[in-house]
Amino acid sequence: MQDKTRRFSINSDEELMFRLSNGEEQAFDELYQRYSKRLLGYFIRMLNFDKDLAEDALQDLFLKIAETPENFDRSRSFKTWIFSVASNTCKNYYRHKKIVSESREEIILMEASKTDNSFMITASQMDGKTFRKMLEEVLNKLSAEKKEAFILKYQEEKTISEIALIQDCPEGSVKSRLHYTIKLLEEKLKIFKPIN
Amino acid sequence: MENNNEINQFLSNKMSLDELNLKDPDLSLVAAARNKIAARKKKPVNEIEDFFSLVAAFLNFKIKLYHAVIAAVITGGVILYVTRSDHDNKDESRASEYVSNIASVRSSTVLSSIYTFGLNKTQDDGRANN
């Protein structure tokens, strides 16, 4: 099967979707190879680090793509489109599986000042495991939109305009969502700040 | 600006997929999806298969209200048409039957025999009186 999918490796995502709508399984396999790991990571982080739920969501997403490949909007980039579908899958999980963040209340940030060097100093002094744990805690406390913007920006390295397209919102909203999350991380890091 | 870039780089590293220690998801996870695609694949069908699929489709046919209404209207129309044409045919056959009856009555000897019978009877009655 590896050899069969090889012949599709030169095809663009959009071409693979066209082949998929003609019932070519190998095109599906190639798309799965390209995106499954990234999407699993996205779902794990979006669904409060529940790996089983993330795998279910991944299955649902690829089932949706297999069932109705014609839903792919050819005027859009596949990379943006697939994350829009993933975003909607997450929304369904939030709705039906009762996934709620620990605190949905907006945390009032102490100040709207520019992020200073202290973030980098403290963060780089922390060991990787502690920082990861703190990051997980912060992500779990965020609303779905803020969490998604953060994951798309830093895991998927999408641009602000791409995130705005996926989230179907103005770029300004994406920027403020990201800013909020970084400020929240900064607040959390203050606990670890060495006392001078 | 430089500080922001540094933070972005730092967060990208911490948010990378390697940090999650994920393995590539197994393709068997999406076996159902692959089956769906296989089912979608257009395959050449011979006439017999086509006929049976047609019969199967007919048997699986779900009747909706508008189907029933259309069928009732068509059936009603056909019944009305058939009964009306039947009625017209009956009228025609009755008329021709009437004409032939009249003709047969006229041509028969019954009427003349009735007349003769009446005449004979008055003659007999007259003789009896005399």
- CA-CA distance, B93 to B90, in Å (whole number)? 5
Find, in chain A, the residue whose alpha carbon is nearest to that of B5.
Answer: A120
Q: Is residue B51 one of the residues assigned to a domain? A: no
Tokens for B95, please give them: 């008329």
| Pick among B11, B21, B28, B34 to test the A interface (most A CBs inside 10 A) | B11
Please list every residue in chain A whose beta carbon sits closer than 8 Å to the beta carbon of residue B37: 20, 23-25, 28, 66
Report whether pLDDT(B97) > 50.
yes
AA letter at A93: Y
Tokens for A11, please give them: 């095809």
List chain A domain ranges. 2-96, 117-192
> Which of B4, B19, B25 lies at the smallest CB-CB distance from A115?
B4
The ipTM value here is 0.75
Residue contact B6–A120, C-beta within 8 A:
yes
Report whether pLDDT(B121) > 80.
no
A67 and chain B: CB distance < 8 Å anywhere? yes
The reply to whether A117-192 shares the fold of A2-96 is no
pLDDT along chain A (196 residues), means of 10: 60 89 87 93 93 92 90 87 93 76 49 59 73 86 92 94 94 94 84 54
Q: Is residue B9 one of the residues assigned to a domain? A: no
Predicted local confidence at residue A43, as pLDDT: 95
Classify domain A2-96 at the CATH class level: mainly alpha
Please list the helix, strand and coil fractions of chain B in percent, rounded to the nearest 5, in that order. 80, 0, 20
Give the start-end residues of each E strand in B1-130.
Answer: none
Q: CB-based contacts of B67: which residues, under 8 Å, 6+ apart?
A: none
CA atoms within 13 A on the CB side of B92: 6
CATH number of A117-192: 1.10.10.10
AA letter at A187: E
CB neighbour class for B121 (10 Å; exposed up to 12, middle 13-18, buried from 19): exposed
| Pick among B30, B42, B43 to test the A interface (most A CBs inside 10 A) | B30
Please list the helix, strand and coil fractions of chain A in percent, rounded to the nearest 5, in that order. 70, 0, 30
Residue contact A66–B34, C-beta within 8 A:
yes
- CA-CA distance, A43 to A67, in Å (whole number)? 20
Q: What would the DSSP string read from start to end of B37-56?
A: HHHHS-----HHHHHHHHHH
Q: Are the CB atoms for A65 and B37 separated by under 8 Å?
A: no
- CA-CA distance, A39 to B17, in Å (whole number)? 10
Domain count, chain B: 1
User: Between vectors from CA B15 to CA B9 and to CA B20, what angle results, nearest 5°?
Assistant: 145
State the residue range of the domain holding B123.
Answer: 63-130
Predicted local confidence at residue B112, as pLDDT: 67
Give the start-end residues of each E strand in chain A.
Answer: none
Q: Is residue B108 one of the residues assigned to a domain? A: yes
pTM, to two decimals: 0.64
A60 and chain B: CB distance < 8 Å anywhere? no
Report whether pLDDT(B110) > 70.
no
User: What letter does residue A75 receive in the DSSP assignment?
Assistant: T
- CA-CA distance, B89 to A125, in Å (whole number)? 107
Largest CA distance in chain A: 66
